[in-house]
């Protein structure tokens, strides 16, 4: 915050003073707010300071702060509520769930089938295989947590997935803790480990069920399944989760919007 802080040097128009940064003022403000989010200074669900206060704090106009927050809101990192203030976004809201769970029942509305039944099959610490280490930005052999679980809808097992998490960030995560938690996993990550997932990339494929998957999902071996490999990122595009899922798509489908 020292070198390129917009609070110093310039008189009116932000020229960002000296050497390092050379970006618009509002980008610098955005960056500063982002750092506060990342540092956990303001936690998910928290009310952040008002635009007027931030403007005073950073010595810029309210309009500049507004533009910075506009972008953060567009990226779903904060949520604006007229008359109330601006809040740090959280996975604890129903509405947010569907951004990361794209599997919907073929018939019926959003969430008409009620919440998924989660069952943890396994949760163990181990050394990271090479491919997992690479995508998580770790070294091969570093400690990782592997979780395997099944999600069922209306009693029908529909999703089988494996998760890999960096061991360092998720100390103390156990099958019991996962099982006792109602609701989305990312919400637990926020409240228990201060890790907020912000963005994810997925690669989808159609594959044939192997013996093990067929048994877990109660389909015949060789049945087509949707393979979903996800890398989820926290602030600053730091990868924090690798997830490999197999979805039954006989009564559900994966929805996507292109725009």
Q: Does 80 bind DNA (CB under 7 A)?
A: yes
Which of a second copy, DNA, none does residue 205 bind to, with CB < 5 to 8 Å depending on kind? a second copy
Give the nearer residue to DNA in terms of CB position, either 64 or 97. Answer: 64
Could you tell me the two tokens for 19? 């050497």
Cβ at position 184, least distance to DNA in Å: 24
Q: Which stretch binds DNA (CB under 7 A): 59-67, 114-122, 148-156, 207-215?
A: 59-67
Which of DNA, a second copy, none does residue 208 bind to, with CB < 5 to 8 Å depending on kind? a second copy
Q: Which of 225, 1, 191, 236 is nearest to 103 (CA)?
A: 225
Q: Does 61 bind DNA (CB under 7 A)?
A: yes
Q: Which of 186, 189, 200, 187 is nearest to 237 (CA)?
A: 200
Give the nearer residue to a second copy in terms of CB position, either 116 or 123. Answer: 116
Binding test (CB under 7 A) with DNA, winner from 83, 108, 155, 172 = 83
Q: Which residue has the tokens 């008409």?
A: 112
Rounded Cα distance, 15 and 82, in Å: 31
DSSP letters spanning 22-44: -S-HHHHHHHHHHHHHHTTSS-T
Residue 79 makes CB contacts below 8 A (sequence gap 6+) with 73, 86, 87, 88, 89
Q: Are strands 85-88 and 47-48 parallel, antiparallel or unpaired?
A: antiparallel
Binding test (CB under 7 A) with DNA, winner from 33, 37, 64, 91 = 64
Q: Which residues bind a second copy (CB under 8 A)?
A: 74-76, 99-100, 102, 198-208, 222-227, 230, 247, 249, 253-259
Which of DNA, a second copy, none does residue 225 bind to, with CB < 5 to 8 Å depending on kind? a second copy
Question: What phi and psi, each to the nearest 5 degrees, are found at residue 45?
Answer: 95, -20
Cβ at position 211, least distance to a second copy in Å: 16
Give burial (CB, 10 Å; 0-12/13-18/19+) of 238.
middle
Give the nearer residue to DNA in terms of CB position, either 86 or 97. Answer: 86
Cβ at position 137, least distance to a second copy in Å: 19
**Cβ–Cβ contacts within 10 Å for residue 38, how many?**
14
The sign of the dihedral angle between the CA atoms of 126, 129, 131, 135 is positive
Q: Which stretch binds DNA (CB under 7 A): 60-68, 122-130, 140-148, 210-218?
A: 60-68
Per CB under 7 A, residues contacting DNA are 12-14, 24-27, 48, 50-53, 60-64, 66-67, 80-86
């Amino acid at each position: 915050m020292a070198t390129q802080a917009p609070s110093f040097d310039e008189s009116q128009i932000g020229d960002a003073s000296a050497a390092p940064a050379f970006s618009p003022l509002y980008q610098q403000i955005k960056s500063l707010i982002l750092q506060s989010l990342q540092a956990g200074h303001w936690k998910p669900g928290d009310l952040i300071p008002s635009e007027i206060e931030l403007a005073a704090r950073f010595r810029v106009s309210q309009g500049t702060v507004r533009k910075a927050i506009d972008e953060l809101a567009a990226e779903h990192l904060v949520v604006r509520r007229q008359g109330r203030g601006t809040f740090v976004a959280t996975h604890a809201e129903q509405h947010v769930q569907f951004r990361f769970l794209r599997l919907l029942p073929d018939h019926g509305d959003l969430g008409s089938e009620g919440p998924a039944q989660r069952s943890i099959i396994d949760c163990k610490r181990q050394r990271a295989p090479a491919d997992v280490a690479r995508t998580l930005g770790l070294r091969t052999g570093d400690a990782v947590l592997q979780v395997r679980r099944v999600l069922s809808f209306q009693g029908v097992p529909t999703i089988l997935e494996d998760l890999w998490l960096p061991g360092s960030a998720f100390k103390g995560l156990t099958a019991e803790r996962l099982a006792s938690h109602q609701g989305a996993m990312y919400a637990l990550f926020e409240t228990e480990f201060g890790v907020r997932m912000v963005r994810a990339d997925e690669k989808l494929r159609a594959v044939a069920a192997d013996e093990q998957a067929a048994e877990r999902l109660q389909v015949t071996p060789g049945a087509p399944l949707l393979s979903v490999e996800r890398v989820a990122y926290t602030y600053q595009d730091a990868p924090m989760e690798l997830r490999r899922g197999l979805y039954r798509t006989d009564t559900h489908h994966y929805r996507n919007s292109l725009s």
